[in-house]
Every structure is written in C-alpha cells, then in structure tokens.
Amino acid sequence: MKELLELFVVFFRIGGLTFGGGLSMLPMLKYELVEKKHWLSEEDLLDCYAIGQCTPGIIAVNTATYVGYKRKGVIGGIFSTLGMVTPSLLIITAIALFLEQFMDNKWLGHALMGVRAVVCALMLNTVVTLAKKSLVSPFCVVVCVVVFVLAMFTQVPTILLVILSAVLGIVTMLFSERRKNK
Amino acid sequence: MRELVFLLFGEFFKIGLFAVGGGPATLPFLMDLTEKYDWYTMQQLTNMVAISESTPGPIGLNMATYAGVQTLGVFGGVVATAGLVMPSVIVITIIAKFMEGFSENRLVKAAFYGIRPAVTALIASAVWGICRVSLFTQSEGRMVPALKTIVLCVMIFGFLQVKRLNKLHPAVWILAAAFIGVVFRF
C-alpha cells in the first residue's frame, strides 16, 4: 500500500508541475523516476517513452501506466494513472467553472479574442513542427495530402482515416521488403 | 442524464483508443464532437486549447476535462477523463505484460510510417477549423476577416519561427495576447 501511494504521489507531482505534456514531460520524468527514485534506468525510461508514443492515447498517461505496471502490476498502473490525472481534473474543473461565471464580462471577452490569435499561431506552429518530423518520404507526403483533403472535404470518419493509414503503412512496407528480396 | 453519461464516456473512450500521438492528436476528434453534438461550440474549443496549453498537466487530459465540464458539469469532467484514460490503461497493461520489444516490432513501425503523416494531416485540418472561427467573424451569414486578430496571429507565428523566442512558454504568449486584446479592444 505504501508503494502504491508513493506511485500516486510521484505521478501527481509530475502531472501538477509540468506544462504541456508529451515531450516536455521527459526532463521531469527523468528527474523523478531515474535520478530521485531509481525506479528506472535512463534506457528503460526512453523505452517506455517510445511505447507511450506508438500506442493510442495521451503519451503522459501511457508512460505512467507503463511505469506503474512494471513496479506493482495492474494496480500499480492504475494508481500511477490516477496520480497523473488528478491535478488536471482539479485545476481545469476550477478554471472552467470560474470562466463560465464571467463569460459575459466585456473585458474577459476582449482578452479571450486576443488569446484566440495566439492559439491559432501556436497550433499552426505545431503543425509546421509535426510536418517537418513526419513528412520524411514521398509516401508520407502523399498520405498527408490525401488524408488532409479527405478530412477537409468529406465526411469520412476520423477513426477510419487513422486505421486506413496504418494499413497503408504496413502494406507499403511489405511490398518494399518483397521487392528487396527478389 | 444517464444516457448522456454513457455517451460522454463512450465518445472519450473512442478518442483515447484512436488518438495516436498524444494531446494534439485529440483535437480533430474534439472538433468532430462539435459537429455531432451541441456539447460545446468551436469558440469554446478555442478557449479550451488556450487554457489547456497554459495550465499544468498533459494537454490532452486538460482538454478532455474541460470538454466534460462544459457538457455535464464537474461530474462530466471526471467521466470524460476516465473515458479518455481507460483505453491507455488497458492497452499499455497488455503490452507491458505480453509484448517485449513492442516499439521495435517491424509491423508496429510500418503502421506508424503511415499513421504519422495522417495524424499531421488530421491536426492540420482541425487547426484550419479553429483558425476559421477565430480569425473570421460571422455577419449576416458571411465570413468577415477579423483584421486585428489576423495581424496579431501572423506576428506571433513569425516570432515563433525565431529559435530563441520559440523556447518561451506558451503561457507567456497567451497572457501577452490577453493583455493586447484588452488594451486594443479586440
């Protein structure tokens, strides 16, 4: 029980003290899990980060579940995840309720309109960064363009697009391997 | 009420299962929800992104909690977050238990070769939707560009391309823009 609580507290601290999630969480994870608690080696952490990235869901939650499971089994995974989730739940619920109260305020309206401009700029910047990282071959560019057009102009469900692109990736690799073997 | 709880849980379970690539990858799905239900508007979604980027915690979790609170109050936030997290816990536990070297598996790598550019495209299309409602205002059914917002957006995007400014925390930009919005009465 003590160890489960420890898992909860460590991931509560990581969730409550890092902004942004995903990659920005790596230094904090390294400090807490590798240097302070010695639960993982640095290679273990990178492995579990790799798994967190190539599985569905929030990367931080995936990492928390994985580390928790490796330490204390299924219950460990659940406690770590609860720890990771709790700060977000508390902070965001408070802010959401607070903002809704003042939504009619004129000044808040002006402020939020200004904030919208930044959100667009930040998100556009995210897209540019992602494009640089993910468009590494002509195949990737084609997939990206086709999926973009389908998402913009048709009603094809997003889930189906994700599944189809995964299948396409596998088929392409199998073909290129067969060609190499000939 | 009970039906709405199940619906909310189910929709976020689906997001948790299919949003590959973490926080930003949930955005296209959250946008789908604005078309499917009247839980929150595109404007509210933009606010959610701003708040999620400038508060502690993973962005994906923050957005799910916010969306849940908008839909069904405090309890809704818990339900949406639980739905989002559940597939992760199940999938990761299975992988941790049965699959050594999962991320090195060649089929997994091949699938991601296709998924990564697709996710980029999905996020790009969601961002386009956000820009449309943020940088334009509706008047008499026509789209009118909101000039002040567009200028500010272009300026900040320009700043973000400068390496040293890119390292600044998003919250800095968000606070600055809120200030500018008040001063210049956006």
Residue A20 pLDDT grade (very low, low, confident, very high; cuts 50, 70, 90): low
Which stretch of A25-34, A42-51, B39-48, B142-151 has the lowest confidence by average pLDDT?
A: A42-51
Residue B13 pLDDT > 80: yes
Report the alpha-carbon distance of residue A141 to residue A161 in Å, rounded: 15
Residue A23 pLDDT grade (very low, low, confident, very high; cuts 50, 70, 90): low
Q: Which residues of B touch A69 (CB under 8 A)?
A: 92-93, 96-97
Residue A21 pLDDT grade (very low, low, confident, very high; cuts 50, 70, 90): low
In chain B, where are the structural domains located? 2-145
Q: Which chain B residue is nearest to residue A67, measuring alpha carbons? A: B96
Give the pLDDT confidence of B129-172 residue by residue, as tens digits: 888 888 888 777 788 888 888 999 999 999 999 888 877 777 78
Residue B143's DSSP bridge partners are B138
Give the pLDDT confidence of A143-153 residue by residue, as tens digits: 999 999 999 99
Look up the pTM and report it.
0.82
pLDDT at position A75, please?
94
Give the pLDDT confidence of B54-110 residue by residue, as tens digits: 788 888 899 999 999 999 999 999 999 999 999 999 999 998 888 777 777 888 888
In chain A, where are the structural domains located? 2-101, 127-181
Which of A11, A162, A167 should we substitute to test contact with B (largest number of B Cβ atoms within 10 Å)?
Answer: A162
Report the alpha-carbon distance of residue B86 to residue A78 in Å, rounded: 10
**Is this complex scored with an ipTM above 0.85?**
no
A176–chain B nearest CA distance, Å:
11
> B115: phi > 0 → left, psi -120 to 50 → alpha, else beta; which?
alpha
Residue A182 pLDDT > 80: no
B56 phi and psi angles, rounded to 5 deg: -65, 160
Which percentage of chain A shows pLDDT scores above 90? Answer: 34
Q: Between A and B, how many residue pairs show a Cβ–Cβ distance under 8 A?
A: 372
Which of A108, A111, A21, A89 has the alpha carbon at shortest distance from B174?
A: A111
Residue A171 pLDDT grade (very low, low, confident, very high; cuts 50, 70, 90): very high
